[in-house]
Amino acid sequence: MPGSKAWVKSLGQKPGSKAGVKSLGQSPGGKSRGQRPGSKAWVKSPGSKAKVKGLGLLVIKCHAYQSQRTWFQTQYKGFIYVNLFYKLYNLIQMKKVLITGSSGLVGKAIQNILPDKEQYIFITSKDADLTDMSETKRLFEKYKPTHVIHLAACVGGLYKNMNNKVEMLEQNLLMNFNIVKCAHDYKVEKLIACLSTCIFPDKTTYPINEEMLHDGPPHNSNDCYAYAKRMLEIQCNAYRENYGDNFICVIPTNIYGPYDNFNLEDGHVIPSLIHKCYLAKKEGKPFIVRGTGKPLRQFIYSEDLGKLILWVLENTNERSLILSVDKEDEVTIEHMARLIAKEFDYENNLFFDASFSDGQYKKTADNSKLMSLYNDFDFIAHEEGIKKTVKWFTNNYETARK
């Protein structure tokens, strides 16, 4: 076959050489032996100049092909060496990023966007109950992480916070205390702890920024969760000041996206309303939105937040940083409820039940510090984020948390 080693080998021989002649002789329907290529008769025969030119071109092509092949082989070998070197470099760098809460909304988003997961260790409560110090220690002993992204928490929407204050306080206090202490004891190079804008003071001026965290009590609907998160910030700062540990806090606003908790009672507003609208449409019932729909929120899509957290891991050691869309993108609960109803083509069946609490009216966050560090970040539009989340939920209804 042309281009095959045998074929190239045969053609590589100079015309008139034994091998060359022999192979030529064998070509299907080949010429009679009298007009052997290169023989006087052959040279004299009509069109020989063209034949010679053709042959010449062929040889050049083969040589070109051969040198191309060699070039590719060299490149490929080069690629192997670079790849090997990169792997060795990472090994030497020994960067091991332990991510707690990996099965959650934000943890899954980070897993989805990470091109190369080699350096990352994804932990869930099945690996270790982080409220238990001995289990947390065992985790650090086993993996000896160089970096930690601490996402694990006892999390829920307004109604879960209002009805499970002890759990929200104790679970989060224990997990956070154990993680920060182990991060120090195991000499972690960088810890990213995750707070929330709902922990800022309720009675304050807007927009709120990173420095205003302890300027007053949080909203009473989530005060226990809020104080547990405030203690996490205090603990990180204590290690920064006393030991110079690079422990930093990121502060997201309300997050939504695939893999969220779509529980009708405990979930945050967007996943709960997506589930409610799904059922309302299926059963032909009214789509009930709790409260007045007037409260204001800034919503960030989970994968946008994932990208920002990975960016923080590599690019900044700011003590605390709000991760949010602009304050101009703050919207009412009603606005998001109508986007959801539109996705289900169920707009005309949406009603508000003001007998339910509205919770905090607003918690407008100032993202100018983030924008001063990363000003061209492209946040996904609410319409597109809701479309993706509704699609994910309807496609994964059987397995979704609910």
In the complex, which residues of this chain contact ligand NAP (CB under 6 A)? Answer: 100-107, 124-126, 129-131, 151-155, 175, 194, 196, 252, 254-255, 261, 268
Positive or negative CA dihedral for 202, 206, 209, 212?
negative
- Within residues 293-322, the interface with ligand GFB by CB under 6 A covers 295, 297
Please give the order of strands across the beta sheet that includes 320-323. Answer: 120-122, 97-100, 147-150, 190-194, 247-252, 320-323
Angle between helices 333-343 and 382-395 (to 10 degrees): 50
Among positions 120, 122, 140, 225, the unique one binding ligand GFB when judged by CB under 6 A: 225
- Within residues 125-154, the interface with ligand GFB by CB under 6 A covers none
Whichever of 11 and 127 has its CB closer to ligand NAP, that residue is 127
Among ligand GFB, ligand NAP, none, the one that 158 touches (CB under a kind-dependent 5 to 8 A) is ligand GFB
Positive or negative CA dihedral for 180, 320, 152, 191?
negative
Catalytic residues: 225
Among positions 269, 280, 323, 386, the unique one binding ligand GFB when judged by CB under 6 A: 269
158 touches ligand GFB (CB under 6 A): yes
Structural contact between residues 100 and 151, judged by C-beta atoms closer than 8 angstroms:
yes
Smallest gap, in angstroms, from Cβ of residue 127 to ligand NAP?
Answer: 8
Among positions 100, 161, 235, 367, the unique one binding ligand GFB when judged by CB under 6 A: 161
Burial class (CB in 10 A: 0-12, 13-18, 19+), 181: middle
Among positions 96, 108, 190, 268, the unique one binding ligand GFB when judged by CB under 6 A: 268
Cα 125 from chain centroid? 20
385 touches ligand GFB (CB under 6 A): no
Among positions 248, 289, 321, 340, the unique one binding ligand GFB when judged by CB under 6 A: 289
Among ligand GFB, ligand NAP, none, the one that 103 touches (CB under a kind-dependent 5 to 8 A) is ligand NAP
Name the strand (E) or helix (H) holding 365. Answer: none
Smallest gap, in angstroms, from Cβ of residue 96 to ligand GFB?
Answer: 29
Helix (H, G, I), strand (E, B) or coil at 190: strand
Cβ atoms within 10 Å, residue 140: 21
> What are the beta bridge partners of residue 208?
365
- Binding residues for ligand GFB, rule: CB under 6 A, are 157-159, 161, 196, 198, 221-222, 225, 254, 267-269, 272-273, 276, 289-291, 295, 297, 333, 356-360
